[in-house]
Amino acid sequence: MVATRFAVAIHILLLLASEPGGQATSGRIATSVGTNPVVIRRLAGQLARAGLLRVRRGPGGAELARPAEEISLAEVWAAMRRQGMPLLPSHPGPRGTGDALGRAVPGLLRGVLDEAEQAMERELAGTTLRQLQERLVDA
């Protein structure tokens, strides 16, 4: 779910970076994304709380809060992610006594999955919205 919210949030921000200030309403963005304007408004609210965009009610639409080169994908990821919830969940292990392997696997797996998430977050931190926008133009 967080990956979908992240992808839609990037879509929203790319559209805002590409359109004149204040022209992108939730209806316009929803058409581009292929979803409902309510979904866009909910995600825009999260992005606004994270300081990534400014929203004006009514026909004013939304705009980036900072230049695209100052917004990292890691910031967008953090805005869309529920704090404390791992992206890659593992199973909780056996209830009750279980065997030694059953008790060890969840912690072992959690460590590997946490390292994978940290590597992804480092990669996202090194990419800005502007860089993504430039790739979009070249596509």
Residue 101 is part of a domain; what is its CATH number? 1.10.10.10
Residues linked to residue 63 through DSSP beta bridges, in sequence order = 54
Per-residue model confidence as pLDDT tens digits over 80-131 = 987 656 666 667 777 766 688 887 888 888 888 889 989 999 999 999 999 9
Query: pTM score, two decimals?
Result: 0.82
Torsion of CA 61, 66, 69, 73, to 10 degrees: -80
| Distant-in-sequence, close-in-space partners of 105: CB < 8 Å, separation ≥ 6 | 93
> Which residues span the domain enclosing 39?
2-138
Contact by Cβ (8 Å): 127, 136? no
Q: pLDDT confidence of 16, banded at 50, 70, 90?
A: very high
Q: How many domains does the chain have?
A: 1
Pairwise CA distance, residues 52 & 127, whole Å: 15
